[in-house]
Amino acid sequence: MANNDRKIGAALTAATCGLLGIAPAASVAAEPEPRWDIDSAFLYYGESDGRVQDMSLSAHATRDFGDERLLGFDVSVDTLTGASPNGAIASGSPQTFTSPSGRATYETPAGEIPLDDTFHDTRFALNGSWSQPFARLYTVNAGLGFSSEFDYQHIGANLGLTRDFNQRNTTLSMAMAYASDSIKPVGGLRQPLSQMGDAVEEDDEEGIEGGGGSDSKNVLDVLLGVTQVLGRHTVLRVNLSYSDSSGYLTDPYKILSVVDPVTGEPVARTPSPGADGPGNVYLYESRPDSRRKEGLYAELRHDFSGKVLQVGYRYSTDDWEVDSHTLESRLRLPFGESGYLEPHVRYYQQTAASFYRYSLPTGPLPEFASADARLSDMNAVTVGLKYGRETAGGNEWNARLEFYQQKAKAPAEFLIGNQVGNTQMPDFNAVILQFGYHFKL
Amino acid sequence: MRKMILLALACVSLEGCAHLGVQPWEREVLARDDMQLDANALDTAFDDHIYFSKEGTSGGRGFGGGGCGCN
């Protein structure tokens, strides 16, 4: 009985403190000790036809120190293998390319989109964040993050401030992030629009390695957001974002085919005597060294007696002239006694960058050119389904299966001769499979 | 962009929002985990990473979890 009284007393103390908005003294705290909340998942991403496969393990951990003070960590490891389009066009004859290392060559059969299958990479990423109130109605949050790959390092910091209005029905937020990345391409940096040369022997000191080096990229992001409660069942968020990237924005592994200005067929090249190298002329791509993006993002969540509909829309525009629209929706439906089903659809559409080229005709070269399909006209669709189930202990496990299909299209004005009506783009399908477990410690 | 900002400001102007919202005791549904705007944080992080490396634009929702060479 005495024990019960103590419990009731402690609960009342906590409730009173809660109402008064003050923290109970530790000796009378009835609330559980600060705990970790951990969301973990394994993800498999696999593209069709032996292209990119990625396996990833991630965890998002939050520790609540009370009084809305939260410590967060994100840790992620992923390993990537498979083939990636190198930017060259398909040709009626087999094609030979020098691999990024500059030490070997790889072949593409006639009629196929050239893929570079020499990529293997492991990425490790860690982020830490802290969030706490710092005055009545204000919350501040700050974070640090870094990630590392074989040829790429990232370090970034962010700082944000939110303020509540209207009985906390309206929240305004402002945040900034700054990142400094360094790129050290396999085989070294290439001169923009320089020609892909022959493969060089391992012991050749004049080799590609000599032209090595690294470069950097800085990104500043600014975000202004408002979250508005629209009713007992509806909440809306709208963000405006601005992003300014400067530095090395080129993809060091992407090339363009140089073609005959009339037929559109690749221009032949002869490797040096005794050397192994490309049989056509290919140039390394060149992108501007700055990019400014502006975006609008809106997301609505609405509850229909236990079913939750989420609808999101994003518009993005930038000075590379890539404009995109993304429409996305999830519907969470209660399923069984303690489970849910969540169908997901997403549609994405973008316009080509001003310097996108399907290939480069011989003659004067433009200052910037890239044949990367990610910068061409494109649309993509994702459909998926997630199932989650709560365990007796209050934890949750879930599984998600999604299909992604991407179709790119080269703008007609860049197609030359035989390329018209014969264009091939590196379209692909991918499957996304995820298993997650959400638990508390 | 200017139009977009003006439109957003109009939508979010505090005057306009003052009559929207609920009383503190009407937040039962809004307080549920599945009604939080970051309810699918891990899924979203995976998706952002995938789409960042496969499409021409990214971001907008918040800040991503670190850079990526993403060939």
Q: Write the pLDDT tens digit of every residue in B16-64.
A: 556 788 999 999 999 999 999 988 889 999 999 999 999 998 888 877 5
- pLDDT given for residue B30 in this prediction: 96
ipTM: 0.88
Q: Does B51 touch chain A (CB under 8 A)?
A: yes
The pLDDT, as a whole number, for residue A237 is: 96
Q: Are A86 and A99 in contact (CB under 8 A)?
A: no
Whether residue A404 and residue B34 make contact (CB cut-off 8 A), yes or no, is no
| Residues of chain A neighbouring B14 (CB-CB closer than 8 A) | 165-166, 170
Using alpha carbons, select from B20, B65, B2, B9 the residue that is nearest to residue A238: B9
For residues A123-139, average pLDDT? 94
- Report yes or no: A37 at the B interface, CB cutoff 8 Å: no
- CA distance to partner chain A, nearest, from residue B66 (Å): 6
B55 and chain A in contact, CB less than 8 A: yes
pLDDT attached to residue A23:
45
Taking a contact as any Cβ pair under 8 Å apart, which residues of chain A between 303 and 362 contact chain B? Answer: 303, 308, 312, 314-318, 322, 324, 330, 332, 340, 348, 350, 353
Using CB atoms within 10 A of its CB, is residue A137 exposed (0-12), middle (13-18) or buried (19+)? exposed
